[in-house]
Amino acid sequence: MAKGMNMAQKPHIIVLGNEKGGTGKSTVSMHVIVGLARMGFKVGSIDADARQGTLSRYIENRSLSCDKIEKSLPQSTHFALFLSTNSSREEASKEDNANLNEALNKLSDCDFILIDTPGSDSFLSRAAHTKADTLITPLNDSFVDLDMLVRLKNDSLDILRPSTYAEMVWEQKKQRAIQNKSSIEWFVLRNRLSSLNAKNKEQMEDVIQLLAKRIGFHYIPGFGERVIFRELFHSGLTVLDMEDCNMQVTLSHVSAKQELRNLIQMIQLPGVEKLAA
Measured distance CA(191)–CA(271) in Å, rounded: 25
Identify the CATH number of the domain in which residue 36 sits. Answer: 3.40.50.300
Q: Which domain holds residue 207?
A: 12-267
The pLDDT of residue 124:
93
For residue 275, is it within any domain? no
For residue 170, is it within any domain? yes
Tens digit of each residue's pLDDT (9 = 90 or more) over 66-112: 999 899 999 999 999 999 999 999 999 999 999 999 999 999 999 99
State pTM to two decimals.
0.89
Task: Give how many domains the chain has, as a whole number.
Answer: 1
Between residues 226 and 89, which one has the greater pLDDT? 89
Tens digit of each residue's pLDDT (9 = 90 or more) over 148-169: 777 777 766 677 777 888 888 9
- b/e map 133-142, b = 16+ CB within 10 Å: bbbbbbbbbe
For residue 274, is it within any domain? no
> Helical H runs in the chain?
25-38, 54-69, 89-106, 123-131, 143-146, 164-180, 199-215, 227-231, 251-266, 272-276
Residues 6-11, mean pLDDT to the nearest whole number: 67
Least confident of 24-33, 43-52, 165-174: 165-174
Q: Are 48 and 125 in contact (CB under 8 A)?
A: yes
